[in-house]
Amino acid sequence: MTERLELIQGDITRFAVDAVVNAANSALSGGGGVDGAIHRAAGPELVAECRTLGRCPTGEARITKGYRLPAAHVIHAVGPVWWGGDRGEDALLASCYRSVFALMEQHGLRTVAFPSISTGSYSFPIERAAPIALREMREALARRPELERVTVVLFSARDLKVYQEALSAP
């Protein structure tokens, strides 16, 4: 299973996968960080399709086409804002990852690239987020043999190191 899960440092907008995951906001209106990068690279058709979808609650996800991205689809997942850890943040983050895998199953998608959801503007501590993300990915890979590859694309060398350490933790 582990060989179907990979950690890479890079820019998620460059990945030719069935779906790239966007760390979106509930309005699905575009924003900064990875959301801004994905919308810039996909072109204005992406925000136009997002407008047809309405709001997406925290912990859920919505799928669109990828437009000018090399990826076929974008799955917009809305992670929790970090409020200190007592407002259900861990469960909401796990729910984001599970919602992405549910959409992949519904649409017959086999390869996916994730950013580190919520650990930028939303301030979720990455040392706490990484084990939650990796646990959900491993569970999905174990349950779904049709999933070919799950890639986590970390923007910085430091973030990559945190995920590598979480992946190798006993």
Closest to ligand AR6 by CB, 32 vs 57, is 32
Closest to ligand AR6 by CB, 75 vs 170, is 75
Select the residue interacting with ligand AR6 from 7, 19, 23, 42 (CB under 6 A). Answer: 23
Tokens of 36: 């801004």
Answer yes or no: 35 catalytic: yes
We find the least distance from the C-beta atom of residue 31 to ligand AR6, in angstroms, to be 2
The Cα–Cα gap between 104 and 62 comes to 11
Select the residue interacting with ligand AR6 from 13, 99, 111, 151 (CB under 6 A). Answer: 13
Q: Give one DSSP letter per residue of 15-48, joined into a string.
A: --SSEEEEEE-TT----SHHHHHHHHHH-HHHHH
Closest CA to 106 of 27, 16, 18: 18
We find the least distance from the C-beta atom of residue 86 to ligand AR6, in angstroms, to be 19
Active-site positions read 35
